[in-house]
Amino acid sequence: MTRSASSSPGKESLHDWLMSERPHSRRQASLGRAYGAWRTFARNRLAMLGLVIVIALVLVAVFADLLAPYSPYIGDLRTTRLLPPSSAHWFGTDDQGRDILSRIIHGSRITLYVVALVAVLAAPIGLIVGTVAGYAGGWLDAALMRITDIFLAFPRLILALAFVAALGPGIENAVIAIAITSWPPYARIARAETLTIRQADYIAAVRLIGASPWRIVLRHIMPLCVPSVIVRVTLDMAGIILTAAGLGFLGLGAQPPMPEWGALIANGRLYVLDQWWVAAAPGAAIFLVSLAFNLLGDGLRDALDPKGVK
Amino acid sequence: MSIIDRALEKSGASIKALPPFDESLPLVPPQPVHTSNAAEPVAPEPVTAVDAAPAVAPAVAPAVAPAAPAVAAPAADPVRPNPPRAAKAPAAPVLIVDDLRVSFPNRDGGRTEAVRGVSFTLGRERLGIVGESGSGKSQTGRAILGLTAPEGLVTARRMEFHGTDLLRSSVKERRALRGGRIAMVLQDPKFSLNPVMSIGNQIVETLRAHSNVSAKQARAKALAALEAVQIDQPERVYKLYPHEVSGGMGQRAMIAMMLIADPELLIADEPTSALDVTVQLQVLAILDRLVTDRGMGLVFISHDLRLVSTFCDRILVMYAGKVVEEVSSGALADAKHPYTRGLLNCLPKLADDRHPLPTLDRKPEWAV
Amino acid sequence: MVQSLPAKSGGARFVGALKSGVNFLGVILLTYLGLLAVTFFIGRVMPIDPVLAIVGDRAPEHVVQRVREELGLNKPLYTQFYIYLKKIATGDFGTSVLTSNPVMTDIKRTFPATIELATVGIIIGAGLGIPLGVWAAVRRGGLVDQVVRVMGLIGYSVPIFWLGLMGLVLFYAKLGWIAGPGRIDVSYEYSVTLVSGFLLLDTARQGQWDAFRNVLSHLILPAGLLGYFSLAYISRMTRSFMLNELAQEYVIAARAKGLSETRIIWRHALRNAMVPLVTVVALSYAGLLEGSVLTETVFAWPGLGLYITNSLQNADMNAVLGGTIVVGSIFIGLNLLSDLLYKLLDPRTRIR
């Protein structure tokens, strides 16, 4: 795309340039659209809160070593066992004398790891299956959709459970198990979008030029499906975090001494009736992060797909 | 010379001598309709380009009817075989609306007025309200009935139905009026009939909301109502669901449903706009007969100027929330306001040879 | 004027219904097959050699071979799958390594507890959730609306097992308002004869009101928890559906008829909203069953979920897979049932 000489940003403000009704280049148009979506999103205060928390999560995970006041793995069984929350230990200590706050901070890495990995695994699978099914039509579409529907009907947690039970506990297995049951909704969404898009004239034009179906699907159709899939992935994040925590609670996720949040709760369960704080804080952390993703996802959906009923 | 001209020359005629094609002729032969004398025109003041001055409206209303049955009746109008006759003694107006305003909150926090000071009076006659989408005609109808959306604000200097002050009535009183004394027929039966209830049950529901009849009596009356709108097998249709009948039948069922409690005023909001042209005329004929038989007042809201002019006695032309012209349908050709003239101009006439076809050139001052 | 209604011959209608029925059955079959294939695959993928799990690693070679023959592990994979399918069809899920009972017996014993819990939960969830959702939609922007939105948000974000734990701490340990984990106190446990497996019904029928109260006291927190989760979902969906319906033209027409607002809400709008709502309730119930795995662990509720997790801890694959198949089947069944219900309830898509 040739970029014609647009008026320099000095003459008009950046805002005007982005919101201009006559963009001079494709980049200006797409940036402008993104800017418009961002403004709608930013007006939603709860969504901004969600975004802030998610960013905070990322930062905490990255700087865990710096932020955690104590070691998450080593505790003093003699002096610091099962201490209630205090100024020295904000969330108290667990049965092995470890500071719970530090464990939660380090556990954020695992949470982020799981979330990112599941998204990276499940979303592309769903996208590909959905766009191929939508574009190809015919028996391929029917077959792929049958498979999708079958997977859609499976109970996510139970199947992940059985899977991890077979493969053995561990965080990677948990991720695979969750990803395998998470991709169907994305395939459905991608297919629905593809069915609409493929009627468009520009697809016909590209086909006339001689583009192969793969090229059409990959370069033209898939990018347009990405926003809806992103919204859905974000909304699913909370469920994925909860499922992963559930698996960890049952001892099937990250193994000790890794401070995965679900496992922390399982740990605290043994003492919960008297030393409730051991289980309280990790659960609150899970709640906060899931809530953040839910708010973020709601905000994204409203910004990118305004025709929904509030 | 075109082929047609040559052919006509041979036969000794010419295009210009042919009578104008009467497009109001339906494609099915007209049904025999009772002659009735219910129509009493309120004094038509032909050609008043109504400005914002509200004083005009009350002046129009109770004035005694002048002499002429002013309408130069077109030959054999099958939809309205009986154009309004000479005025009888003026009856009390059925509906008085004075300076009606309806506003809604808009995106920027302010309010947008959808209806800006509409005034008219209605007797036992047919009033047509014509306008394009967004002119506020539907909102006017709904405001009269009290069906404006809750975020809307309805104000008026006067809004009276048979002497009852609609503005000061309680919610209960207004609800009793709706369906019982004022009825509304909506546009698309696909959407305005409840999809999970049978047609018969919906009709019975209206009746039982307004009078104390037993289930058996209600059913009998509902069947009679279905017959009155010329539905062939009322028992069968009674049990059907709205999606199982055609558009025309659904609309007739809706008419039956709304008229079963014998209201005195009917507000028809684009009653035929969702129907095929052939079906339109059938439904209109039914509507015409029912309104005439029962002596109801009718407010006919539409975007179709030609349809309204053949169906109604008086026409209100609305633009941007205001009434820009009030004219009797016979005197439509002499309308003064440029918007009305523009609309008339746009109506295609087969005998015309106009290139390019005229379009409406909206002037901002009409919306002031 | 004659308006002829489209007449479908009885034969054509029957064929149409048959086609839909066959299609539906096909979908069910395929889905169940898929589930069984997945569980079969999981069972075979186990790193633990099932033979060694039975005979131990010290057994002589010929014993290992014989057990291998018995288990059919020498046969090709699809034959094994076929045998597997036959077994499942007869309800033979194998033997539990832990209890030495046939897995089916264990499942039959533990199943009613889960159903009882989930059913009470859904009654709370739907019984409160639907009216709340209607109220939230009718008084849009009001207090109930905000509450429903917040509750929904919390319900989607909080881990159910954690909330259960905190609930136990608060209502059992600190306040002592309810009984603790388990289904019934040990002191009552042996005085109740299990007839249906549903303790509420059994104790009530036998007139043992003390035991009944005890059972209720145990049931209330876990059922309330499940009820909350389904309520969060159901009320939100109800609100959404009701808002949709209340914006429809037929509601305006109903008002124009002069009907009372109450009638319009309940007999017109809700009746239409019920169509997708029934599927929502069915799906929510399925979700409660799935979540039972976690809830029962927290409350030591002797149901199918606890059975699965216990078996998990003990590497009892037969039991785990058996339980998975049962829960999975019900889950799938409810999913498909909800699709069917949707088609049946909406008169527009009903097979005529």
For the record, the structure tokens of C121 come out as: 């939960």
In C320-336, which positions are buried (b, 16+ CB within 10 angstroms) versus exposed (e)?
bbbbbbbbbbbbbbbbb
CB-based contact C249 B244, cutoff 8 Å: no
- Phi, psi dihedrals of residue C205, rounded to the nearest 5°: -65, -30
Q: Which residue of C has its CA nearest to A242?
A: C159
- pLDDT tens for C235-282 read 999 999 999 999 999 999 999 998 999 999 999 999 999 989 998 999
Q: What are chain A's partners, defined as 3 or more CB pairs within 8 angstroms?
A: C
Higher local confidence (pLDDT), B146 or B109:
B146
Q: Which of B145, B176, B243 sits opposite C256 (nearest CB)?
A: B145
Give the 3-state secondary structure of residue B159.
Answer: strand
- pLDDT tens for A8-61 read 555 567 887 777 777 788 788 888 888 888 888 888 888 899 999 999 999 999
Query: Does residue C13 surpass a pLDDT of 70?
Result: no
Query: Does residue C4 surpass a pLDDT of 50?
Result: no
Shortest distance between the Cα of C314 and any Cα of chain A, in A, equals 10
CB-based contact C308 A249, cutoff 8 Å: no
Pairs of CB atoms within 8 A across A/C: 144
Confidence of residue A126 (pLDDT cuts 50, 70, 90): very high
In A178-217, which positions are buried (b, 16+ CB within 10 angstroms) versus exposed (e)?
bbbbbbbbbbbbbbebbeebbeeeebeebeeeebeeeebb
Q: Which of C254, C260, C347 sits opposite B196 (nearest CB)?
A: C347
Q: Which residue of C has its CA nearest to A264?
A: C162
Among B74-88, B280-294, B323-337, the minimum mean pLDDT is found in B74-88
C286 CB neighbours in chain A (<8 A) are: 155
d(C-alpha A300, C-alpha C199), whole Å? 47
Q: Which residue of C has its CA nearest to B203?
A: C257
A149 CB neighbours in chain C (<8 A) are: 27, 31
CB-based contact C253 B254, cutoff 8 Å: yes
Q: Which of A149, A162, A276 sits opposite C39 (nearest CB)?
A: A162
Task: Work out the mean pLDDT of chain C and round it to a whole number.
Answer: 84
Confidence of residue C190 (pLDDT cuts 50, 70, 90): confident
A249 interfacial to chain C (CB closer than 8 Å): yes
d(C-alpha A38, C-alpha A32), whole Å? 10
Give the 3-state secondary structure of residue A1.
Answer: coil
Q: Which residue of C has its CA nearest to A282?
A: C162
- pLDDT tens for B289-317 read 988 888 888 999 998 888 888 888 899 99
- Average pLDDT for A119-147: 89
DSSP string spanning C247-307? TSHHHHHHHHTT--HHHIIIIIIHHHHHHHHHHHHHHHHHHHHHHHHHHHHHHT--SHHHH
Q: Identify the contact set of chain B against chain C, taking CB-CB distances under 8 A.
A: 142, 145, 147, 175-180, 183-184, 186-188, 191-197, 205-206, 209-210, 230-233, 236, 240-241, 243-246, 248-249, 254, 257-258, 261, 282
A66 interfacial to chain C (CB closer than 8 Å): no
The number of beta carbons lying within 10 Å of the beta carbon of residue B20 is 10
Q: What angle do CA C38, C41, C46 make, to 5 degrees?
A: 130
Pairs of CB atoms within 8 A across B/C: 91
Q: Identify the contact set of chain C against chain B, taking CB-CB distances under 8 A.
A: 1-3, 5, 248-250, 252-260, 263, 268, 271-272, 275, 346-348, 352
Burial class of residue B194 (count of CB atoms within 10 Å of its CB; 0-12, 13-18, 19+)? buried
d(C-alpha A125, C-alpha A144), whole Å? 12
* Half-sphere exposure (Cβ direction) of C331: Cα atoms closer than 13 Å: 24
C158 CB neighbours in chain A (<8 A) are: 283, 286-287, 290
φ/ψ bin of A190: left (φ > 0), alpha (ψ from -120 to 50), beta (otherwise): alpha
C348 CB neighbours in chain B (<8 A) are: 195, 241, 243
Query: Does residue B27 surpass a pLDDT of 60?
Result: no
Higher local confidence (pLDDT), C97 or B315:
B315
Shortest distance between the Cα of C253 and any Cα of chain B, in A, equals 6
A270 interfacial to chain C (CB closer than 8 Å): no
Structure confidence at residue C45 (pLDDT): 67
C290 CB neighbours in chain A (<8 A) are: 155-158
Q: What are chain C's partners, defined as 3 or more CB pairs within 8 angstroms?
A: A, B
CB-based contact B184 C253, cutoff 8 Å: yes
pTM given for the model? 0.79
CB-based contact B241 C348, cutoff 8 Å: yes
Confidence of residue B29 (pLDDT cuts 50, 70, 90): very low
Task: Work out the mean pLDDT of chain A and round it to a whole number.
Answer: 84
Shortest distance between the Cα of A39 and any Cα of chain C, in A, equals 23
A149 interfacial to chain C (CB closer than 8 Å): yes
CB-based contact C169 A272, cutoff 8 Å: yes
For the record, the structure tokens of C198 come out as: 């549903």
Structure confidence at residue A167 (pLDDT): 77
Query: What is the value of ipTM here, to two decimals?
Result: 0.83
CB-based contact C158 A287, cutoff 8 Å: yes
Query: Does residue B63 surpass a pLDDT of 70?
Result: no
CB-based contact A150 C165, cutoff 8 Å: no
Give the 3-state secondary structure of residue A61.
Answer: helix
CB-based contact C35 A154, cutoff 8 Å: yes
Structure confidence at residue B107 (pLDDT): 78
CB-based contact C293 A246, cutoff 8 Å: yes
What percent of chain C clears pLDDT 70, i.e. is strictly above it? 91
d(C-alpha B196, C-alpha C248), whole Å? 13
C258 Cβ contact list (under 8 Å, min separation 6): B175, B176, B177, B178, B179, B180, B206, B209, B210, B261
What percent of chain B clears pLDDT 70, i.e. is strictly above it? 75
C248 CB neighbours in chain B (<8 A) are: 191
CB-based contact B243 C252, cutoff 8 Å: no
Q: Which of A153, A161, A162 sits opposite C336 (nearest CB)?
A: A153
Confidence of residue B216 (pLDDT cuts 50, 70, 90): very high
C257 CB neighbours in chain B (<8 A) are: 178-179, 205-206, 209, 257-258
Structure confidence at residue A5 (pLDDT): 45
Interface with C, mutate which of B194, B210, B262 (most C CBs under 10 A): B194
Confidence of residue C48 (pLDDT cuts 50, 70, 90): low
